Chain A
Amino acid sequence: MASPRKSCIQREDRSPASVNVDGLSKTYGQQEVLRDVSFKVEPGEIFVIMGPSGSGKSVLLRHIAGLEVPTRGALDINGLSPTEPETRNQFALALVFQSGALLNSLSVYNNLSLYPHEHQLCSKKEIHDRVMRALQILSIEHAAKKMPAELSGGMRKRVAIARALVMEPQLMLYDEPTSELDPIMAATIAEIIATLREEYAVTSIVVSHDRDLSLTIADRVALMQNGQIHSIAPPAEYRQATDPLITEFLNPQINLQNPRFKTLEATS
């Protein structure tokens, strides 16, 4: 693994983080959204979580980001609780939200400079250089002065990734990073996720529906179903899998003679 680039952001420990999820369950009211989820993400690994809509992927990601407290079970980042601000500070945990979650009252430039500016990590010149570099990587330097409301969905997603890049995270979480993007930009994002590991020594956890992204860049893929982990394996094993759930999810056939919704109607 290459050593991280020279940076104005000083941290004691720059090694990538490991994530340990042990028997995690989450209940909202009567509904159990996550059930006994356990896995470990190794430092520097790209770990992709796939699964159908409503299977609990995003809720799991919010737990790893420290935005939710589990009902049962435990979760730690290098042995520390992600809900503690000190943990997030230590590893500069970055979450790329599905919607982008840009601050609408700030320009794109100010959204990107917010983290180093608020934490007083770098000089104005250094912040400017970092922001412009992140914008260049995502090919959106022309949007620096725009407000988020002026951007398309795809552009907002790219700005959100650029904002995360500026933080130089050691743990990067992506929630559907390629949704709303055209295939070329989706491929660019996949390349960025893979390259970040080399440049910044970052551990990545990606929640995605994108089969190509998942099987191309992941070291391991977890498939979720009904709030549980169905399987965890390297992409090669998924390509050769015979399990009907995996094959159906990875290679769904469009059946015009016997559409799925009609089968669902008949069973309900």
Chain B
Amino acid sequence: MTRINNFFEAFGAGVIMTWRAFAMLPAAPRILKRIAEQGFLIGYTSMPIIAILCFFIGSVLAIQAGISLREFGAKEFIGALVGASMARELGPVMVAIILAGRVGSAVTAELASMRVNSEIDALTTMNIPPERLLVLPRLLAVILVMPVLTMMANLVGWFGGAIVCEYVDFIGLSANEFFRNLQAYMKFSDVTDGLIKAEIFGIVVMIISCNTGLRTRGGPREIGLAVTKAVVLSLIAILTLDYFITKLLA
């Protein structure tokens, strides 16, 4: 019972925190520098790991597709399969998972240590809402960078698939044919649906990370627990939401 109560308490606190943060949107022009800083931390520094992971995800997809499709003599459809899988599913999900593990954990640790060290209390006594100073810049930054990261993930994944098709002998499909097929069968909505997913995942991961951090009480042990909790909750939220958004967009 206590666990259920705690869950709903945390959920309610997250809703209130998000409401308060977005209610401070008129202050956004004053926090442009903070948004840019967070954009750099969330976006730019995540690019290398996203590029490496998505390159190999695209490559593996192409190999697996090649193995299955050659049985049916349909290897020319590898481009469409890799293209749609990356854009609709793997691009947004992988970016969100990396965001949760790499950025979300850091955000939770930072805000939790600020809470434990009374920095949040100091802001409260100065009448500076933590939602404006700490939450809003991160939410706006994640909204801005998620489409960029997801597009980059898609492009790198497609490129990985094309390289595999070109150089793996048993597939025997040129990169040009791969991209021709990708272009022919993919719809613009495949990409936009993926970007919508990525935006929702990004916002949810950031809300969970900020809320878990700000609600932390105790000491160093609780900071560690809060980080684990935020990452696990984010991963559950990403995969659960993925199902419902996919169904909604289908």
Contacts and interface: CB of A to CB of B under 8 A. Distances in A.
B121 A104 contact: no
B246 interface: no
A8 interface: no
Q: Which size class do A's interface residues fall under?
A: 20 to 34
B117 A104 contact: yes
B126 A115 contact: yes
B240 interface: no
Interface stretch (A14-22, A93-101, A124-132, A246-254): A93-101
Contacts of B119: 101-104
Nearest to B30: A120
A51 interface: no
Scoring B30, B118, B125, B127 by chain A CB atoms within 10 A of each residue's CB, the highest score goes to B125
Contacts, number: 52
A118 interface: yes
Interface string B103-131: 00000001001100111011111111000
Contacts of A65: 121, 125
B117 A93 contact: no
Q: Which size class do B's interface residues fall under?
A: 10 to 19
Given A99-B117, A101-B117, A118-B133, A93 B122 contact: no
B122 A101 contact: yes
A221 to B, nearest CB: 24
Scoring B30, B118, B127, B132 by chain A CB atoms within 10 A of each residue's CB, the highest score goes to B127
A115 B125 CA distance: 10
Given A67-B125, A93-B125, A115-B128, A99 B133 contact: no
Given A104-B117, A118-B133, A97 B128 contact: no
B133 A88 contact: no
Contacts of B121: 62, 65, 67, 95, 97, 101
B236 to A, nearest CB: 29
A231 interface: no
Nearest to A85: B127
B23 to A, nearest CB: 13
B116 to A, nearest CB: 10
A88 B114 contact: no
A114 B124 CA distance: 12
A67 B124 contact: yes
B126 A114 contact: yes
Nearest to B118: A101
B118 A88 contact: no
A1 to B, nearest CB: 25
B122 A89 contact: no
17 contacts: A66-B124, A66-B125, A67-B124, A88-B127, A94-B126, A101-B117, A101-B119, A101-B122, A103-B114, A103-B119, A103-B123, A104-B114, A104-B119, A114-B126, A115-B126, A119-B127, A167-B126
